[in-house]
Amino acid sequence: MKNIILTGMPGSGKSTIGVLLAKALGYGFVDVDLLIQEREGALLQEILDSRGVEAFLDAEEEAVGTLDCSGCVIAPGGSAMCREGAARHLCSLGSVVYLNVSLEELLRRIRNMSQRGIAMKPGQTLADVLAYRDPIYRRYADLIVDCPSGQDLDQTAQLVRTALQKSGLLR
Q: What is the pLDDT of residue 91?
A: 97
- The sign of the CA dihedral 100, 104, 105, 110 is positive
- 148 within domain boundaries: yes
Please give the model's pTM, rounded to 2 decimal places: 0.94
The confidence band for 153, taking pLDDT boundaries of 50, 70 and 90, is confident
Structural domain contains residue 167 = no
Q: What is the mean pLDDT of residues 149-163?
A: 90
- CATH number where 24 lies: 3.40.50.300
Sign of CA dihedral 108, 33, 144, 168: negative
What span, in angstroms and rounded, lies between the C-alpha atoms of 74 and 33?
10
Indicate the angle between helix axes 53-65 and 32-40, nearest 10 degrees. 110
Which pLDDT score, from 0 to 100, does residue 170 have?
Answer: 82
The reply to whether 67 falls in a domain is yes
Q: Please report, for residues 79, 90, 138, 159, the alpha-carbon distance to residue 73 in angstroms, rounded to integers and kept in the order given.
A: 17, 11, 19, 15
Q: Report how far residue 141's alpha carbon sits from residue 137's, in angstroms, rounded to the nearest whole number.
A: 6
pLDDT digits (tens, 9 = 90+) for 15-37: 999 999 999 999 999 999 999 99
Range of the domain at 30: 3-161
Tens of pLDDT, residues 84-117: 999 999 999 999 999 999 999 999 888 776 667 7
Q: At what angle are helices 14-25 and 153-167 packed, to 10 degrees?
A: 60
**Structural domain total, the chain:** 1
Predicted local confidence at residue 135, as pLDDT: 98
∠ at Cα 22 (83, 31), nearest 5°? 35
For 45-83, the pLDDT digits (tens) are 999 999 999 999 999 999 999 999 999 999 999 999 999
**Segment holding 160, helix H or strand E:** helix 153-167
- Asked, for residue 70, whether it belongs to a domain, the answer is yes
